[in-house]
Amino acid sequence: MDGNRRWAKNRFMPAALGHAAGAKRVREVVQACAEAGVTHLSLFAFSTENWKRPEDEVSSLMGLFMTYLQKEVASMNANGVRLRVLGDTQRFSEPLRELIADAQQRTAANQGITLMVCANYGGRWDMLHAVKSWQQAHPGQSLQALTEDALAPYLSTADAPEVDLLIRTGGESRVSNFLLWQAAYAELFFTDDLWPDFGADRLREAISWFGQRDRRFGSSAPL
Protein backbone atom coordinates (compact mmCIF):
# COMPACT_ATOMS: atom_id res chain seq x y z
CA MET A 1 0.00 0.00 0.00
CA ASP A 2 2.53 2.55 -1.21
CA GLY A 3 2.25 6.30 -1.62
CA ASN A 4 0.79 7.56 1.66
CA ARG A 5 3.67 9.95 2.31
CA ARG A 6 3.75 11.28 -1.24
CA TRP A 7 -0.01 11.77 -1.12
CA ALA A 8 0.42 13.89 2.00
CA LYS A 9 3.42 15.78 0.59
CA ASN A 10 1.44 16.68 -2.54
CA ARG A 11 -1.10 18.32 -0.24
CA PHE A 12 1.47 20.00 2.02
CA MET A 13 0.43 17.73 4.89
CA PRO A 14 2.52 15.79 7.42
CA ALA A 15 3.18 12.12 6.62
CA ALA A 16 0.93 11.03 9.49
CA LEU A 17 -2.13 12.43 7.70
CA GLY A 18 -1.19 10.49 4.59
CA HIS A 19 -1.06 7.28 6.57
CA ALA A 20 -4.41 8.12 8.15
CA ALA A 21 -5.91 8.67 4.69
CA GLY A 22 -4.51 5.32 3.61
CA ALA A 23 -6.05 3.58 6.61
CA LYS A 24 -9.46 4.99 5.71
CA ARG A 25 -9.14 3.43 2.26
CA VAL A 26 -8.83 -0.08 3.72
CA ARG A 27 -12.52 -0.57 4.50
CA GLU A 28 -13.58 0.23 0.91
CA VAL A 29 -11.03 -2.16 -0.55
CA VAL A 30 -11.95 -4.97 1.85
CA GLN A 31 -15.62 -4.56 0.99
CA ALA A 32 -14.93 -4.48 -2.75
CA CYS A 33 -12.81 -7.64 -2.48
CA ALA A 34 -15.56 -9.42 -0.56
CA GLU A 35 -18.14 -8.40 -3.17
CA ALA A 36 -15.85 -9.74 -5.92
CA GLY A 37 -15.63 -13.14 -4.24
CA VAL A 38 -12.05 -12.77 -2.99
CA THR A 39 -11.55 -15.09 -0.02
CA HIS A 40 -8.21 -13.73 1.24
CA LEU A 41 -6.80 -10.22 1.12
CA SER A 42 -3.29 -9.43 2.38
CA LEU A 43 -2.26 -5.85 3.15
CA PHE A 44 1.38 -4.90 3.69
CA ALA A 45 1.00 -2.39 6.51
CA PHE A 46 4.49 -2.29 8.05
CA SER A 47 7.60 -4.09 6.87
CA THR A 48 10.62 -5.22 8.86
CA GLU A 49 12.52 -2.45 7.05
CA ASN A 50 10.08 0.29 8.07
CA TRP A 51 11.74 0.58 11.48
CA LYS A 52 14.41 2.62 9.66
CA ARG A 53 11.94 5.47 9.17
CA PRO A 54 11.99 8.54 11.46
CA GLU A 55 10.98 7.72 15.02
CA ASP A 56 8.00 10.09 15.00
CA GLU A 57 6.64 8.49 11.83
CA VAL A 58 7.01 4.97 13.26
CA SER A 59 5.28 6.12 16.44
CA SER A 60 2.37 7.59 14.48
CA LEU A 61 2.04 4.35 12.49
CA MET A 62 1.89 2.30 15.67
CA GLY A 63 -0.76 4.65 17.06
CA LEU A 64 -2.73 4.43 13.82
CA PHE A 65 -2.60 0.63 13.97
CA MET A 66 -3.96 0.68 17.50
CA THR A 67 -6.74 3.08 16.54
CA TYR A 68 -7.66 0.95 13.53
CA LEU A 69 -7.94 -2.19 15.65
CA GLN A 70 -10.06 -0.41 18.25
CA LYS A 71 -12.45 1.12 15.71
CA GLU A 72 -12.81 -1.57 13.06
CA VAL A 73 -13.35 -4.85 14.93
CA ALA A 74 -17.09 -4.24 15.33
CA SER A 75 -17.40 -3.52 11.60
CA MET A 76 -15.37 -6.63 10.78
CA ASN A 77 -17.70 -8.78 12.84
CA ALA A 78 -20.76 -7.19 11.27
CA ASN A 79 -19.42 -8.01 7.80
CA GLY A 80 -18.01 -11.46 8.54
CA VAL A 81 -14.36 -10.41 8.18
CA ARG A 82 -11.77 -12.64 9.84
CA LEU A 83 -8.63 -10.76 10.86
CA ARG A 84 -5.16 -12.22 11.03
CA VAL A 85 -1.98 -10.27 11.72
CA LEU A 86 1.15 -11.75 10.14
CA GLY A 87 4.66 -10.86 11.24
CA ASP A 88 6.93 -10.69 14.26
CA THR A 89 4.69 -8.87 16.71
CA GLN A 90 7.10 -9.26 19.64
CA ARG A 91 8.70 -5.91 18.84
CA PHE A 92 5.38 -4.11 19.30
CA SER A 93 4.30 -2.60 22.60
CA GLU A 94 2.34 -4.78 25.00
CA PRO A 95 -0.89 -2.76 24.55
CA LEU A 96 -0.66 -3.19 20.78
CA ARG A 97 0.02 -6.92 21.10
CA GLU A 98 -3.01 -7.22 23.37
CA LEU A 99 -5.21 -5.40 20.84
CA ILE A 100 -3.97 -7.68 18.06
CA ALA A 101 -4.70 -10.82 20.09
CA ASP A 102 -8.15 -9.56 21.07
CA ALA A 103 -9.09 -8.57 17.51
CA GLN A 104 -8.00 -11.92 16.12
CA GLN A 105 -9.86 -13.82 18.82
CA ARG A 106 -13.07 -11.81 18.36
CA THR A 107 -13.12 -12.33 14.58
CA ALA A 108 -11.77 -15.92 14.51
CA ALA A 109 -15.15 -17.55 13.80
CA ASN A 110 -16.15 -15.23 10.96
CA GLN A 111 -16.76 -17.00 7.66
CA GLY A 112 -16.40 -14.16 5.16
CA ILE A 113 -13.20 -12.74 3.70
CA THR A 114 -9.98 -13.26 5.63
CA LEU A 115 -8.04 -10.01 6.02
CA MET A 116 -4.36 -10.63 6.64
CA VAL A 117 -2.52 -7.52 7.82
CA CYS A 118 1.23 -7.93 7.49
CA ALA A 119 2.90 -5.92 10.26
CA ASN A 120 6.61 -6.08 11.07
CA TYR A 121 6.58 -8.62 8.27
CA GLY A 122 9.15 -9.55 5.65
CA GLY A 123 9.18 -12.42 3.20
CA ARG A 124 12.73 -13.35 4.16
CA TRP A 125 11.81 -13.30 7.86
CA ASP A 126 8.82 -15.53 7.10
CA MET A 127 10.92 -18.18 5.37
CA LEU A 128 13.67 -18.12 8.00
CA HIS A 129 11.11 -18.32 10.82
CA ALA A 130 9.40 -21.24 9.07
CA VAL A 131 12.67 -23.18 8.76
CA LYS A 132 13.47 -22.61 12.44
CA SER A 133 9.96 -23.67 13.43
CA TRP A 134 10.20 -26.82 11.32
CA GLN A 135 13.50 -27.73 12.90
CA GLN A 136 12.13 -27.19 16.41
CA ALA A 137 9.24 -29.51 15.55
CA HIS A 138 11.63 -32.13 14.09
CA PRO A 139 14.74 -31.96 16.30
CA GLY A 140 15.98 -35.35 15.23
CA GLN A 141 15.80 -34.73 11.49
CA SER A 142 18.41 -33.23 9.19
CA LEU A 143 17.57 -30.24 7.01
CA GLN A 144 18.14 -32.62 4.11
CA ALA A 145 14.69 -34.04 4.94
CA LEU A 146 13.02 -30.64 4.53
CA THR A 147 10.83 -30.28 1.44
CA GLU A 148 8.59 -27.50 0.12
CA ASP A 149 5.48 -29.38 1.22
CA ALA A 150 6.96 -29.97 4.67
CA LEU A 151 7.87 -26.31 5.13
CA ALA A 152 4.58 -24.82 3.95
CA PRO A 153 2.65 -25.50 7.22
CA TYR A 154 5.19 -23.39 9.14
CA LEU A 155 4.82 -20.25 7.03
CA SER A 156 2.73 -17.44 8.49
CA THR A 157 0.13 -18.04 5.76
CA ALA A 158 -0.17 -21.77 6.39
CA ASP A 159 -3.98 -21.73 6.30
CA ALA A 160 -4.28 -19.46 3.26
CA PRO A 161 -3.94 -20.09 -0.49
CA GLU A 162 -0.89 -18.83 -2.36
CA VAL A 163 -1.05 -15.34 -3.83
CA ASP A 164 -2.86 -15.07 -7.17
CA LEU A 165 -2.72 -11.33 -7.71
CA LEU A 166 -0.21 -8.90 -6.20
CA ILE A 167 -1.10 -5.22 -6.55
CA ARG A 168 1.55 -2.54 -5.96
CA THR A 169 0.39 1.07 -5.77
CA GLY A 170 2.39 4.28 -5.94
CA GLY A 171 4.18 3.69 -9.24
CA GLU A 172 6.75 1.28 -7.81
CA SER A 173 7.62 -1.89 -9.76
CA ARG A 174 9.03 -4.25 -7.16
CA VAL A 175 7.68 -6.65 -4.53
CA SER A 176 9.76 -5.23 -1.63
CA ASN A 177 10.13 -8.42 0.43
CA PHE A 178 6.37 -9.11 0.48
CA LEU A 179 5.16 -12.74 0.66
CA LEU A 180 8.13 -13.90 -1.40
CA TRP A 181 7.39 -17.62 -1.07
CA GLN A 182 3.63 -17.26 -1.44
CA ALA A 183 3.80 -14.97 -4.49
CA ALA A 184 6.10 -17.19 -6.55
CA TYR A 185 3.48 -17.45 -9.32
CA ALA A 186 1.46 -14.33 -8.61
CA GLU A 187 0.39 -12.01 -11.39
CA LEU A 188 1.85 -8.54 -10.71
CA PHE A 189 -0.30 -5.46 -11.24
CA PHE A 190 1.42 -2.09 -10.89
CA THR A 191 -0.45 1.20 -10.77
CA ASP A 192 0.62 4.83 -10.41
CA ASP A 193 -2.29 5.47 -8.03
CA LEU A 194 -1.08 6.43 -4.59
CA TRP A 195 -2.68 4.19 -1.98
CA PRO A 196 -5.09 6.83 -0.56
CA ASP A 197 -6.42 7.24 -4.13
CA PHE A 198 -6.73 3.50 -4.82
CA GLY A 199 -10.39 2.58 -4.66
CA ALA A 200 -12.93 -0.01 -5.73
CA ASP A 201 -12.86 1.00 -9.40
CA ARG A 202 -9.12 0.49 -9.72
CA LEU A 203 -9.39 -2.77 -7.80
CA ARG A 204 -12.02 -4.04 -10.23
CA GLU A 205 -9.72 -3.02 -13.10
CA ALA A 206 -6.91 -5.08 -11.56
CA ILE A 207 -9.17 -8.09 -11.09
CA SER A 208 -10.40 -7.80 -14.68
CA TRP A 209 -6.79 -7.64 -15.89
CA PHE A 210 -6.00 -10.71 -13.80
CA GLY A 211 -8.90 -12.58 -15.40
CA GLN A 212 -7.31 -12.13 -18.82
CA ARG A 213 -3.93 -13.50 -17.82
CA ASP A 214 -2.74 -16.83 -19.26
CA ARG A 215 -1.60 -18.59 -16.09
CA ARG A 216 0.62 -21.59 -16.86
CA PHE A 217 2.53 -22.17 -13.60
CA GLY A 218 5.58 -23.30 -15.57
CA SER A 219 3.71 -25.63 -17.94
CA SER A 220 3.40 -25.23 -21.70
CA ALA A 221 -0.39 -25.04 -21.73
CA PRO A 222 -2.80 -22.72 -19.88
CA LEU A 223 -4.64 -24.19 -16.91
Q: Which residues are annotated as a binding site for Mg(2+)?
A: 2, 187
Task: Give the CA dihedral 99, 100, 101, 104, nearest 10 degrees.
Answer: 120
Q: DSSP character for 222? A: -
Task: Give the CA dihedral 123, 45, 62, 12, nearest 10 degrees.
Answer: 130
Binding residues: 2-7, 19, 47-49, 51, 53, 168, 174-176, 187
Annotated catalytic residue within 2, 120, 126, 193: 2
**Count of CB atoms within 10 A of residue 24's CB?**
11
Binding residues for substrate: 3-7, 19, 47-49, 51, 53, 168, 174-176
Sign of CA dihedral 188, 82, 45, 22: positive
The question of whether 192 is a catalytic residue gets the answer no
The question of whether 50 is a catalytic residue gets the answer yes
Helix (H) or strand (E) holding 69: helix 55-78
Annotated catalytic residue within 50, 77, 110, 177: 50
How many residues can be counted in the chain? 223
Task: Provide the annotated active-site residues.
Answer: 2, 50
